[in-house]
Amino acid sequence: MADGFSGGCQCGAVRYRGARLLDDAHVCHCRMCQKAVGNMFVGLVGVALANFTWTRGEPAAFYSSAKVARGFCRNCGTPLFYRDDGGDSISVTIGSLDEPAKVPLVFESGIEGRLAQIDQIDHVENRGALEDDVPDWAAEVKSGNRQHPDHDTDDWRTDQG
């Protein structure tokens, strides 16, 4: 990825920025990562703590084990980071980045927890874009969208509605 990246949670209460991502983007299939993000796997990419700052708000954290913290927005629940106490880096969730498509995966880990469904994705029915599949619903979501945009904002209410 080019120099500089930013990201944050869905509601916009927590935003972060960094100078350079590490070359370690990965998905982890382990059971603890599944639970931490409530999903089939987690996607993470590291950044040196020296190159990283929270630019709006502060995430909450849950220690899933003695030295491993899992961060999230206390307002909307978006999983934001994995951090090993004592390490010199933090890993942010790839989906919370403003430009997640720009982070090529380098490896997968936690194979003991890898779900069989992962291999089914390319074979299940493809319903296409939401605008085509469920146009009325897509239009409704678009008009009432409270998700923070994929860039920093000067002013953003996190209690909209």
Q: List residues near Zn ion by CB under 5 A.
A: 9, 11, 13, 28, 30, 33, 73, 75-76, 110
Q: Which is nearer to Zn ion, 26 or 52 (CB)?
A: 26
State the minimum distance, in angstroms, from the CB of residue 9 to Zn ion: 3
> Which residue lies nearer to Zn ion by CB, 11 or 94?
11
* Dist. CA 51–CA 149, nearest whole Å: 23
Rg, Å, the chain Cα set: 17
Nearer to Zn ion, 34 or 128 (CB): 34
Closer to Zn ion by CB, 6 or 75: give it: 75
Q: How far is the CB of 49 from Zn ion (least distance, A)?
A: 20
Q: CB of 141: closest distance to Zn ion in angstroms?
A: 18
To Zn ion, the closest distance from the beta carbon of 102 in angstroms equals 22
Contacts of 81-90 spanning 24+ positions with Cβ under 8 A: 82/33, 82/36, 82/42, 82/44, 87/49, 88/48, 88/49, 88/50, 89/22, 89/46, 89/47, 89/48, 89/49, 90/46, 90/47, 90/49, 90/52
Among 36, 39, 91, 86, CA closest to 64 = 36
Question: In angstroms, what is the minimal distance from the CB of 110 to Zn ion?
Answer: 4
Nearer to Zn ion, 58 or 133 (CB): 58
Q: How many whole angstroms separate alpha carbon 28 and alpha carbon 34? A: 8
